[in-house]
Amino acid sequence: MIKNPFQNAQEQLNKVSFFLEIKKELFNIIREPQRVLEVNIPVKMDNGEIKIFKGYRSQHNCALGPFKGGIRFHPNVTKEEVMALSMWMTWKCAVAGIPFGGGKGGIIVNPKELSLGELERLSRGYVRAIVPIIGPETDIPAPDVNTNSQVMAWMLDEYIKNQKSKIKNQKSKIKYQISKFENQDDEEKLKAAFTGKPLDLGGSLGRTEATGRGGVYCLNELIKHLNISKNDLTIAVQGMGNVGYYFAQLAYEQGYRLVALSDSKGAIVVEDEKMGQLNPKEVMEYKERTGSVVGFPGTKNISNEELLELNVEILVPAALENVITEINAGKVKAFIIIEMANGPVTPEADEILNKNGIIVVPDILANSGGVIVSYFEWEQNMKGEKWEESIVNERLKARMINAFGNLWKTKEEKKVNFREAAYIFAVDKVVKAMLNSKL
Ligand code: NAD
């Protein structure tokens, strides 16, 4: 039976409890989110009807700093999924060495069925519903599956309007000057309430590509540590969204041989598996024209399940969770899996992959490039700075190399696998921060 993502997240945590000397009470705290808000969002549809959408914001742990994590729009969103994603964010921020805790949000919706106006009203309605618990120093949302910088722009605008009207109300009630948000600088800081924003609203250069870029830096570090050459290493990437596309494109630019790609409609593999390769930019242009990667010239159509079992060296799940399970784990032929999606491998599958000697670079390290550059965006907004793209990328690279090195060291010292090393490192750091703060 496939467990829900939160059960998986708890199980991953249980597995490393043996290596950590944590008091039971503390362990019980980190096993659950600190707060989960469930909201019902009424949205006026284009036909005049009012439809209610359910959404969530889960705040797992803030010992290291404000809660941080994306907002997902998907028909399969569940409370448990959002809770799991918020817990993974806590560990991810700890691994990445940034002063944030873990949060995540989601709305049960198929955004492809909404008009642009309906999507905007839903985004704004969600912010009005969660506004009491978010802010630049409390909880900072960002994009995730099916949300992008446009959605962040609507959300930020709604948030700023809300904050301004709150200040106006306070002023008229208590009739004395409130200095908060009085000047331009303070209003600039409000922009730090969301990351992944458009550039002209305080977004950071390099944020869009950051998750994929960070994943490629991580892969480069891995092959360096394994002492193998990247020449002729073949890669299959599942998912052609923000994460999958930029990972594929940067890997391609750096000389890896990309042989298979996919989206929700299906997957493609080069006809000539020995020599052929895909140029992700060309595949993306084709997808934008036709609506899918399926049918790209010079490729065979296969299913998303078949993509996971291809004879490649590197497999990159970059779509959704629970795609490698106990059912198909034994059929994976790649010897490296880079988890660019969150939670793509179930704990049962992890054991099988481990036994088969497959190296799994865990999501909380592999896809941490996104939250690292989100942190840079937040820092730029808080300090009123704008960094060059080359600086953003350099700083991202330095952090990814450092995070990789920390986990590699833990893995070697404790004689555990990569995921266990990541959990040991992250949980230890969060628990120490909890002990240093008032619980
Ligand atoms: P996205 O919406 O931009 O893209 C998702 C992609 O997955 C699309 O190409 C879609 O067609 C494809 N897809 C959906 N269902 C599929 C299926 N069943 N099989 C194959 N492909 C399928 O989302 P994204 O931002 O790229 O996020 C992808 C994953 O990466 C998620 O797990 C997300 O939580 C994680 N992630 C995202 C970021 C970020 O910065 N966006 C950061 C860290 C982790």
Ligand 1 atom index nearest CA of 72: 34
How far apart are the CA of 428 and the centre of ligand 1, in A?
Answer: 29
Residues with pLDDT less than 70, the chain: 1, 168, 170-185, 438-439
272's CB contacts (< 8 A; 6+ apart) are none
Taking all residues of the chain, what is their mean pLDDT, rounded to a whole number? 94
Burial of 15-45, coded b for 16+ CB within 10 Å and e otherwise, reads bbbebeebeeebeebbeebbebbebebebee
CB of 320 within 6 A of ligand 1: the answer is yes
Q: Is 104 a catalytic residue?
A: yes
Other residues' Cβ atoms within 10 Å of the Cβ of residue 355: 10
How far apart are the CA of 121 and the centre of ligand 1, in A?
Answer: 23
CB of 241 within 6 A of ligand 1: the answer is yes
pLDDT digits (tens, 9 = 90+) for 59-93: 999 999 999 999 999 999 999 999 999 999 999 99
Rounded CA-CA distance 300/332 in Å is 19
> Counting Cβ atoms within 10 Å, is residue 162 exposed (0-12), middle (13-18) or buried (19+)?
middle
Closest listed residue to residue 213, CA positions, set 368, 98, 418: 368
- Candidate of 73, 88, 145 to mutate for ligand 1, largest count of ligand atoms within 8 Å of Cβ: 145
CB of 143 within 6 A of ligand 1: the answer is yes
pLDDT digits (tens, 9 = 90+) for 34-56: 999 999 999 999 999 999 999 99
Catalytic residue among 92, 104, 191, 397: 104
Other residues' Cβ atoms within 10 Å of the Cβ of residue 414: 14
Give residue 184's pLDDT.
Answer: 60
How far apart are the CA of 321 and the centre of ligand 1, in A?
Answer: 9
Ligand 1 atom index nearest CA of 367: 43
Residue recorded with tokens 């080069």: 270
CB of 365 within 6 A of ligand 1: the answer is no
pLDDT digits (tens, 9 = 90+) for 112-126: 999 999 999 999 999
Cα dist. 72→78, 109, 132, 341 in Å? 10, 9, 19, 13
Of all protein residues, the one whose alpha carbon is nearest to atom 16 of ligand 1 is 264
φ, ψ for residue 73, nearest 5 deg:
-110, 110
Closest listed residue to residue 170, CA positions, set 156, 182, 183: 182
381's CB contacts (< 8 A; 6+ apart) are 136, 188, 189, 191, 192, 202
CB of 146 within 6 A of ligand 1: the answer is yes
Ligand 1 atom index nearest CA of 244: 26
CB of 149 within 6 A of ligand 1: the answer is no
pTM recorded for the entire structure = 0.93
CB of 377 within 6 A of ligand 1: the answer is no
Rounded CA-CA distance 286/274 in Å is 23
Other residues' Cβ atoms within 10 Å of the Cβ of residue 13: 18
